[in-house]
Amino acid sequence: MNGKEFCARFPALALWQTEVRAGLHGQDARRPSTWRTGTALYRAACLEAVTLDLYGQGCDTTPDRLRREVAEILERDANERSADS
């Protein structure tokens, strides 16, 4: 899977990795204690990481379910943010 395919299949994980590597919000890739773990992006990235791991182990049904859960988390977070505005 190339970089474009990875970003398309696992957008939250790719974005989270980019943010951490760039040091956004004081995060340091080498120091997990600096990672913003309470965000919807982090939760979605974790589910996508599990999906990627399961896919690598040959699972083909669970990743689809987990991808749907990721989409639901991000949609719920977006709705909450727009309600707060």
Question: In the chain, what are the domain boundaries?
Answer: 3-84
**Model confidence at 68, in pLDDT bands (50, 70, 90)?**
confident
Q: How do residues 10-67 score in pLDDT, each as one tens digit?
A: 889 999 999 999 999 999 999 999 999 999 999 989 988 887 887 777 776 566 777 7
Give the pLDDT score at 30. Answer: 94
Alpha-carbon gap, residue 46 to 30, rounded angstroms? 17
Cα(38)–Cα(47) distance, integer angstroms: 14
Q: Of 23, 24, 13, 26, whose CA–CA distance to 73 is shortest?
A: 13
Kindly report whether the global pTM for this prediction surpasses the value 0.85.
Answer: no
More confident residue, 85 or 22: 22
Dist. CA 47–CA 66, nearest whole Å: 6
Query: Which residue type does 27 have?
Result: Q
Rounded to whole angstroms, the Cα distance separating 85 from 80 reads: 9
